Each structure stands twice: as C-alpha cells, then as structure tokens.
Amino acid sequence: MTLTPTRTHYESELSAIVKNFTAVTLRGTTIYSKVRYVGLAGTAIMFGVGAFLVVAPGKGGEPLINRSLVGGTISMAIAWMAWVITIRPRLVMYGDTIRIRNWVTETVVPYGHITGVNIENGLTFTLKNGSEIRARVVGTSIVGELAGYPSAQLVRRHIQPLLSSGAHPEGGEVRETFSLSLKVPLIVAGLHVLLYGCMRYIVPMS
C-alpha cells in the first residue's frame, strides 16, 4: 500500500528546510554573510550598467566625457552601497576578543564584557554595562523570524563556549571606531577611467 504525502507532510518538510538553512558561513575564525555573493554580483552588474552608459551614445549624442561621468558615478554609488550592506559585515573571533564589523563601524569587544547573545531579532550582543551591539552579519527578515533565526543560532553556538568557559575575565575596553574603506569606489572609478581612456584614445568615439 502506497501512502500519498499529505499537505501537512510537505509543510513540515519545508519548515525543516527553512529552519536548517543558514545565511552565514564560517571560514576559520571569521563568520561571513552568504548574502555577500548577491552584493558581489550586484557590484559587477552595476559596473556593466555604467560601462553600457559610457559605450552607448544614445539618441542625444552626449559627449564621451559626460557619459563617462554619469556612468562612473552611478556605478560607484550603487556598487559601494552593495558592498557596505552585504559584503562588509562580518564577525572575527580572536583569542580574547571578538571584532564586530558592521556597515560603517567596527567594534572590538573582549569576551569578558559580553553577558549574552540575543537571537530574538537578528543577532545582538548584550554587554555587562547594559548596552547592546547589533551584528549586521545576520539581517532581520520575516523568514528568519518565523524560522527562529537559524543563522543567529549558529553564530551563538560557536561563540557561547568562549563566553561560558570562564577563561576570559573582564579586562580591556570596548572600542568602537568609524570604519569605511574607499577601496571599492576607487576600484570602480579606476576601471571607468581605464574604459574612458580606451574609448578616447584606442577606439576613438565622440
């Protein structure tokens, strides 16, 4: 006798898949967001869009320099935004501290200052002074909330032993700094300058 899977069975299977899926990956002592691949793809696509604006003169016959400025500005702005939001956030675990890199800040926290890891709404570290530090490596979403934030749970499983071992007494200080690299926009700008040079001198276009 063959049993036909019921709707409840499929729903439970889907629920299990969602709960087991994590949007983070661990490489060595660094935890990255898998969403960074979307950011990398978006950066490449936006450079392509900017390059197209440079190459295609359009009906207005805009000069090459104008098209280069417009295409380069659009590419730099959106590629930088994609990098900041999706690629930059990460957690790095060291011997006595954890480095929390968010969109525009980087915070170094000694393990002894951390009293808990909250996963109710993404990933948040609670400190002994009562303050909280949000880790953007795990984003908030409806799917994540329904599944219980499995990505945040994975991070907590890796960090919790370091907090509960008692080997890290409170010492040092929590250091938060503004940290925003210009590497990505400079690379995109350099590529557009190279493209402009090729279009201007190697393949002359008006």
pLDDT digits over 15-36, tens only? 443 344 578 888 888 999 988 8
Buried b (16+ CB within 10 A) or exposed e, 28-40: eeebbbebbeebe
134 has pLDDT over 90: yes
Residue 53 pLDDT? 86
Q: Say how many domains are in the chain.
A: 2
Radius of gyration of the chain, Cα coordinates, nearest whole angstrom: 23
Question: Domain residues for 114?
Answer: 90-180
Q: Is residue 91 exposed (0-12), middle (13-18) or buried (19+ Cβ within 10 Å)?
A: buried
Whether residue 145 lies inside any domain: the answer is yes
Residue carrying structure tokens 């994609």: 82
- pLDDT at position 18 is 39
CA 105 to chain centre: 13
Give the predicted TM-score (pTM) of the model.
0.79
pLDDT digits (tens, 9 = 90+) for 144-186: 777 778 888 888 888 888 887 666 666 689 999 998 888 888 9
- 157 and 105 fall within a common domain: yes
Residues 73 and 122 in one domain: no
Within a domain: 74: yes
Which position has the token pair 């299977």?
Answer: 13
